[in-house]
């Protein structure tokens, strides 16, 4: 697993160079706009809701002494929860809506690696790619939230909250990498087959998603470059994994 995670991270090494070499930047224009708008809306929403959630949670503290301190803490926790859920929503929204624009990128990378498209590849339309992207994102979003909510509750337990933060990051990374891989998988595998494929390659998915999530920590620049870098890295590695599967 560790080896696969590192492999997923290392796939980013030549991403910038490959994008320029294959002249792929033009395909990222609309997804970049989607990314910036989505991040802006979620950011303002998280900021606006944090105080409201904080005040609501503070009502649990019925005593007057320490009320201000408790309100400050609950406002911070409320903002953190909203931000984490916002990141989850952001990730799945941009991965779903960018699907029709990322598919050509993945296709050009596959041609670059293999010399042509495998004759077994599935031809899909813009609408089919969008529907597939939305379907995958809804499926992953529901599963991720089911795992994330219990992890968030662990944050109220001292010491345990340190490990819950790491676990939360790994979960988010896995589903980010999942979405990036599916831009290539949708040409080769059906919906259920893609889920099984990523399940067998969890390490790479996590590795790809780790860099994806770290990019989001970089103000402004991160949300602009996250898709070009992560999709390119995922496409390169996914094509290699598919080739290995066919040779096995």
Please give the pLDDT value at position 207: 96
> DSSP state, 111?
H
Q: Do residues 206 and 230 touch, judged by C-beta distance below 8 A? A: no
Spell out the residues 6+ positions from residue 203 whose beta carbon is closer than 8 angstroms to its own: 1, 2, 3, 4, 5, 7, 8
Please give the pLDDT value at position 245: 84
- Dist. CA 34–CA 175, nearest whole Å: 19
Please give the pLDDT value at position 54: 65
Please give the pLDDT value at position 222: 87
Please give the pLDDT value at position 201: 95
- Kindly report the three-state secondary structure assignment for every residue of 187-237: HHCCHHHHHHHHHHCHHHHHHHHHHHHHHCCCCCHHHHHHHHHHHHHHHHH
- Dist. CA 40–CA 46, nearest whole Å: 10
What b/e string do you get for 61-89 counting C-beta neighbours within 10 Å, with b at 16 or more?
eeeeeeeeebbeebbebbbebbbbbbbbb
Residues in the chain with pLDDT < 50? Answer: none
Please give the pLDDT value at position 127: 77
- Dist. CA 216–CA 87, nearest whole Å: 9
Please give the pLDDT value at position 131: 86
Per cent of the chain over pLDDT 90 is 36
- Dist. CA 104–CA 110, nearest whole Å: 10
Each residue of 181-203: pLDDT tens digit? 999 998 888 889 999 999 999 99
Please give the pLDDT value at position 118: 58
Tokens 């790994």 -> residue: 170
CA 181 vs CA 83, 136, 161, 165: distances in Å:
25, 11, 30, 24
Each residue of 66-89: pLDDT tens digit? 667 766 777 777 777 777 788 888
Residues in the chain: 248
Each residue of 203-214: pLDDT tens digit? 999 999 999 999
């Amino acid at each position: 697993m560790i080896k696969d995670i590192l492999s997923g991270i290392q796939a980013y090494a030549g991403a910038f160079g490959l994008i320029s070499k294959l002249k792929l930047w033009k395909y990222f224009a609309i997804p970049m706009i989607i990314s910036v708008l989505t991040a802006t809306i979620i950011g303002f929403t998280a900021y606006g809701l944090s105080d409201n959630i904080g005040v609501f949670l503070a009502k649990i503290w019925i005593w007057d002494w320490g009320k201000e301190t408790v309100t400050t803490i609950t406002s911070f926790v409320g903002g953190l929860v909203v931000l984490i859920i916002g990141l989850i929503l952001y990730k799945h929204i941009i991965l779903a809506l960018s699907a029709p624009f990322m598919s050509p990128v993945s296709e050009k990378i596959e041609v670059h690696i293999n010399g042509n498209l495998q004759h077994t590849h599935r031809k899909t339309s813009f609408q089919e790619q969008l529907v597939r992207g939305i379907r995958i994102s809804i499926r992953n979003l529901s599963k991720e939230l089911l795992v994330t909510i219990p992890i968030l509750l662990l944050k109220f337990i001292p010491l345990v909250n340190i490990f819950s933060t790491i676990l939360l990051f790994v979960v988010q990374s896995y589903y980010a990498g999942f979405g990036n891989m599916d831009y290539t998988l949708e040409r080769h595998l059906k919906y259920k087959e893609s889920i099984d494929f990523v399940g067998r390659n969890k390490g790479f998915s996590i590795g790809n998603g780790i860099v994806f999530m770290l990019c989001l920590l970089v103000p402004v620049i991160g949300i602009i470059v996250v898709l070009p870098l992560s999709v390119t890295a995922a496409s390169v590695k996914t094509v290699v994994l598919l080739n290995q599967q066919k040779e096995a």
